[in-house]
Every structure is written in C-alpha cells, then in structure tokens.
Structure 1
Amino acid sequence: MYGELMAYWVVFGLTHSLLAAERVKAVVSSFMGAHSRYYRLYYSIFSFLLLGWIIWFQYSHPDRSLFRRPVYVSVAAAILLLPAMIIMSICIRKYFYHLSVIDVLFPGRQSSGKLETGGLNRFVRHPLYSGTLLLVWCLFLLFPTGGNLISAGMITLYTIIGTLFEEKKLRRTFGEAYILYQQQVPMLIPFLKRNKNSTGQGRPL
C-alpha cells in the first residue's frame, strides 16, 4: 500500500505541475478555443478529484502506528493544529475567488495581481503553504501512521519544489520589488530572516 500511495503522490505532483506549465496551458488552450478561459477551472477540478482519490485510497486501507507517541507530543501537535487551521482559513477566505477558481465566472472579482506584505505576508512569503505544511505534520504527530508519514513527506517535497519554481516566476513578473521582498521576509518558516526596514511590496500567497 505504501508504494502505491507514494506513486499516486508522484503522479499528482507531476500532473499538477505539468498542467500548470505555461507551455502546456498555451497548447491546451489553443485546442479549447472559446473555452480556454475556463482552463484553470478544469485544471483545478481535475486536481481536486485526483487529490480526493489519493485520500480515499490512503484511508480505505488498514494502516498501523509507527511509534507510540508521548502525551506531550500529542498535546503540542494538537495546540499547533489550531494556528495551522487558522492560517489556512485566513488565506482561503481572503483569496476565496482566486483559490476556488470560480473567479473566471466573475471577471470583476479576479485578482488584481497587486503585491502586498500586509497580514500574514509580513511573516512569510507563502503563508498558505506554511499553514499546509504545519497542518500535515501536526496530523502525522497526532496519528503517526505509515500512510500519514508518506503523505506528509510527499506534500512537503512537492510544496518546497513547487514554491521554488513559483519564486522564479514571481521574480520574472515583479522584478526588483519581489527580490527585495525575498531579502526581507522568509519563504515558509517565520523569523528565519527578517529586515526591520520592510517595504510595502510582496506576494499575497
């Protein structure tokens, strides 16, 4: 089961990245014609269904705990689970239309693309990803099964790799403004590096 689960996560990461690539989007959009504006919606639905399949596969198979966790580990994980959920909730609520991709149906609500460092972006450049990583590892510590370890590890690997590629895209898009933001605010872990003279430019997610 573990080998299959890992393979499914690899497939998810590869297809998710491939379909998000600009060249692939351009080629597919050329065949979609007038429906090309819904590409991101179809892409997100496909990713959501594939993710749902992976989760179903993992929890439809029996699993076992890898170790007997101390009480203090469970307490710490439970405490950290709350801020993880709060961080994700804030990000999802703030960027609901963009993250749910229904913004393609409401052009007036589409993201302006403006750079910001307000709110959670004062602490990390990608707060949604930070919240996701904190969430999956807290869940593993609460339920330390082999499946949860594989899922947490694969999600972490994909998130880090995906974030690095996204950073390159953001530097191309926003130039010096984003480079300055990188120098002032850490990518995923708060307070690793921080410049007190922070400017007002950054990346919302």
Structure 2
Amino acid sequence: MFASIFILVLCLAGFAFIHSLLASLPVKRFIRRSLGSKADTLYMPVYNLIAVITIIPLVYVLYKYPGEFLYVIPSPWRWLMVAGQVVAFIVGPRALRDAPHRFKLRAQLSAPNSPEAGHLDIHGIYRWIRDPFLFSGLVIMWLTPFMTTNLLVIYILTTVYLVIGSLHWESRLVAQFGDQYRDYQKHVHRIIPRLKPYYEKE
C-alpha cells in the first residue's frame, strides 16, 4: 500500500513540476524570445498536450494500484454526482472562450497597465466566479462517486496544488490588470460562484 502511494506521489510531483515550470514567466519569456509571435498561438495547445502526456503515468499507476475502497455511492445519487462532473467538464473550455486575452503570452509578459496588457473585460462565466478552472477541478475530483485510499491521497495533494496554483495565477492577474482586478476580487468569489452575475464598472 505504502509503496503504491509513494509511486503515485512521485508521479504527481513530476507532473506538478513540469506543469509549473512550463507555466512560469521565465520559461514563457524564453519561449517568446525563441519563437517570436508564433508563441502566442502555439504555447497553449502545446502546453495542454504536454500536461495530458505527463499525467498519463499518474493515471496508469492509479488504475493499477487504486488501493482499498473507502466508499461507493449508490444510485441514484451517483448519477447526480456524475451529472455535476459533466457540467464541470464544460466549464474549462467555456472559461478559455470567455477570457482568451488572459492566456496570451504577449499580454502576460507585458508591463502592468500597458496597452499590451489589455483590459480585464469581465464577461461570461467570469461574472459568477474568478477561477472557474479551480472550481471545475475540485468538482470533478470530489464528486467522484467512489473513493479509494490511493485516490484520496492524490485528491488531497491535487487540491492543495490547485489552490496554491490559483493564488499564484491571481497574483499575475493583479500584476497584469492592477486596480481593475483588485476591484473585481472584492465582488466575485474565487471558488464559490455568485448567485447573481457581476458587471464590470465602466
């Protein structure tokens, strides 16, 4: 049991290291210097592809060594949980579509409040929640209708990693958009969606 948990933690640590390294500003600056304007269109697809490839070993080891079952949710509750996961899966692509300017290398690497940094432009799902990726990730994990010992360990560690990553991402958004984002933070929760949509002040 402990051996399988150790291997799983190593796989997760490897994924987190590669994922964080590629998301760091120094690496992004190096990529943009090397590729020029092509980096703006190539970075996100390649980044996502590498993320998928590097998480495969973790998924495989977890499949081979799931650990002891802690619980299995019976029907019909399990299908309600699966329905929640499906909704959460839709949130990620929607979040990218609603704020593509947040993920452009040129904007992320620009000086705060510069024309290249752009305007915050809050619309779509961001009117309800500041970090839809964190929200969807937590929902997908914790609405899994069964739980094993090894899965629980990975979910706990992944939750910590996602929360820390979200805080780091928000610090970049504050640097990029300044007071616009600080005002936005006062009105919209980072994880828990609002009941009413937020509308940016003109």
Taking the aligned partners of 1:132 and 1:60, their CA distance within structure 2 comes to: 23
| 1:87 counterpart residue number | 88
Aligned to 1:154: 157
Between the aligned partners of 1:70 and 1:80, the Cα distance in structure 2 is 9
Structure 2 partner of 1:123: 128
One-letter identity of the residue aligned with 2:60:
W
Q: For structure 1, which segment, 125-134 or 158-167, has the greater mean C-alpha deviation from structure 2 after superposition?
A: 125-134
Kindly provide the CA deviation profile for residues 13-61 of structure 1, in whole angstroms up to 9, marking residues without a partner as x: 1221111111122235545578655344333322210112211121023
Counterpart CA distance in 2 for 1:81 and 1:31 is 43
Instruction: Look up the match of 1:41.
Output: 45
- SS of 2:143's partner is helix
Distance 1:96 1:198 in 2: 18
Asked if the contact 2:8/2:58 (under 8 Å) is kept, the reply is: yes
Mapped partners of 1:187, 1:161: distance in 2: 12
5+ residue gaps in structure 2?
106-116
**Residues 12 and 50, structure 1, Cα contact 8 Å, conserved in 2:** yes
User: TM-score scaled by structure 2?
Assistant: 0.73
Q: In structure 1, list runs of 5 or more residues that go unmatched.
A: 105-111
1:54 aligns with 58
One-letter amino acid matched to 2:199: T
> 1:43 & 1:91 partners in 2: Cα distance?
15
Letter in 1 for 2:87: I
Percent identity over paired residues: 24
> 2:66–2:148: 8 Å Cα contact kept in structure 1?
no
Do the aligned residues in 2 keep the contact of 1:84 with 1:132 (CA within 8 Å)? no
Instruction: After TM superposition, give the deviation of residue 162 of structure 1 in Å.
Output: 0.6
| Residue of structure 1 equivalent to 2:200 | 200
In the TM superposition, what whole-angstrom CA distance separates every residue of 1:70-111 from its partner, at most 9, and x where no partner exists?
75xx75554243233213314415636999xxx99xxxxxxx
* Counterpart for residue 135 of structure 1: 140
Pick which of 18-27 and 30-39 moved more: 30-39
Q: Which residue of structure 2 lines up, in the alignment, with residue 189 of structure 1?
A: 192
Please list, as runs of the form range in 1=range in 2, the aligned pairs for 1:58-69 lying within 5 A after superposition.
58-61=62-65, 63-66=67-70, 68=71
184 and 23 in structure 1: CA distance in 2 versus 1, 3 angstrom threshold = same
RMSD over aligned Cα, in angstroms? Answer: 3.3
Amino acid at match of 2:16: G
Code of the aligned partner of 1:42: V
